[in-house]
Structure 1
Amino acid sequence: MRCLICFEQVLPKVDWTSFLTVQKPIKLCVSCMEKFAVIDEPGCKGCGRKDGNGLCFDCERWNRSEYSGVLEENVSVFGYNDFAKELVARWKYRGDFTLVHAFAEAVQTKYKNHFHGMDAELGAIPLSVERLLERGFNQSEAVITMLGASPHHFFKRKGNEKQSKRGRVERIMGENPFELIESVECPVVLVDDIYTTGMTVRHLARLLRENGCPRVHSFTVFR
């Protein structure tokens, strides 16, 4: 078996346990596993970033803005380090869709442990038609499916501008690029691959909260 990321051969551990129990397939080599910046205990309770204590400066600013209170929290699985950036580039932009299996188990475990018992709908982040054709899949829907759920499409995008091409100030000062097409009266978890400024999930959370949704959380693979 070869590592899904670096393609190095992975040799399974052989001992008495391996003979007596069913072993899970080994998907990653030790070197690649160690490059993931796992967020065990977030420093910021608002956005889930690993460093800091209490609320980070960004979350304090959000709490002083018109978006105060629209998002309960963001929960993320890994830090968005250089290794993660390359992994996401291969997965999302270069069509290496099988890489989703490299972090699937960790994502599933984190979601189950954190949101256990919550009766919530999982909301997908909409892509423009142009972006969907370019990538061939919606990464938000892919993560939701990985979690064993069906994506709910509460929103549609107004235009085709790519959020990742806009600077922080442009994102925060720009108008909401989404509109609500379906309201919901139960809690919602917005799911995406990366939390960067937090503007996207707050745009969406505000629309939901203004239309009857009691609580909105976000869950992302990387932070």
Structure 2
Amino acid sequence: MYCLWCDEELIVHVNWLNLFQPESRMNVCDQCKKNFIKIEGKVCVKCGRPFERLKCHDCIRWDEFYDGDDPLLKNVSLYMYNEFMKEVITRWKYRGDYIIGELFRLAFLAKFKEQYLSLLKDVVVVPIPVSRARAMKRGFNQANMLASFLSSTVKDVLVQKHLEKQSKKTRIERMTTINPFSITEPINKSVVLVDDIYTTGRTLRHAASLLKNNGCPEVYAYTLIRS
């Protein structure tokens, strides 16, 4: 076996867990693993950003924007954004190296079980879509891949029309974009939206608003990275 990032050969110590569950074996070397910085300690209760106080300034502004009725109840993110993660995301998401996503499988599932499956019953996972043109260019949707790692029901009910990339927009432009999503069927259970990166939260709130307007009682988010 080799590290999915640096191709260094891995020394696998077989135990009772990975003997019968090969998927539990590591797929990243110890050196590379150190560069994935997990979010731990005090965080904003709404968006999961490392923050010393209860709620960050951005989330306070979102509460004001929605007059106290923010459609997104909470976001949990697994990793912090750094230069190493930027390089990983570029290779995985923008250069179409699909297998890189496997680096996140085990940790992404473990955090999900800890944060959501212990609190919510019969939750539905909904991946944030990309437009058809973008999916054809990349070859896959990274949010769908992340959602497939989780142990809950996954429903791909959102459709996105082709718009300019969020990464190319200023913060103000992101905050004021129109809702790019449509929905193919309503969901009347609690939903956890899944995406790769939480930046301003605008995309997730567009999706959350649409779901709530179509009968969903509560919407949460689970993202790989908190930018």
TM-score, normalised with respect to structure 1: 0.90
Counterpart AA for 1:175? I
Go from structure 1 to structure 2 and tell me whether the alpha carbon gap of 1:209 and 1:22 turns closer, same or farther (over 3 Å shift).
Answer: closer
Alignment of 1:85-164 (within 5 A): 85-117=86-118, 118=120, 119-149=122-152, 151-164=154-167
Do the aligned residues in 2 keep the contact of 1:129 with 1:160 (CA within 8 Å)? no
What is the match of residue 178 of structure 1? 181
Contact conserved, 2:133 with 2:162, CA < 8 A, in 1? no
- Structure 1 residue aligned with 2:225: 222
Consecutive unaligned residues in structure 1, runs of 5 or more: none
Query: Tell me, which stretches of 5 or more residues in structure 2 are unaligned?
Result: 19-23
Q: How does 1:54-65 map to 2 (within 5 A)?
A: 54-65=54-65
Go from structure 1 to structure 2 and tell me whether the alpha carbon gap of 1:3 and 1:214 turns closer, same or farther (over 3 Å shift). Answer: same
Partner of 2:79: 78
- What is residue 6 of structure 1 aligned with on the other side? 6
The corresponding residue for 2:21 is none
What residue number does 2:34 align with?
34
Q: Report the CA distance shift for 1:136/1:150 in structure 2 as closer, same or farther (over 3 A).
A: farther
> SS at the partner of 1:38?
coil
Q: Percent identity?
A: 39
Q: Report the AA paired with residue 63 of structure 1.
A: D
Corresponding position: 1:206 with 2:200: no
Q: Which residue of 2 aligns with 1:49?
A: 49
Residue 16 of structure 2 corresponds to which residue in structure 1?
21
Equivalent position amino acid for 2:202 in 1:
M
1:166-186 deviation per Cα after TM superposition (whole angstroms, max 9, x unaligned): 221101112111123322211
Q: Distance in 1 between matches of 2:66 and 2:211?
A: 15
What is the CA RMSD across the aligned residues, in angstroms?
1.8
Change (3 A) 1:182 1:42: farther
Q: Distance in 1 between matches of 2:134 and 2:188?
A: 30
How far apart are the structure 2 equivalents of 1:82 and 1:51? Answer: 20
One-letter code of the match for 1:144? Answer: A
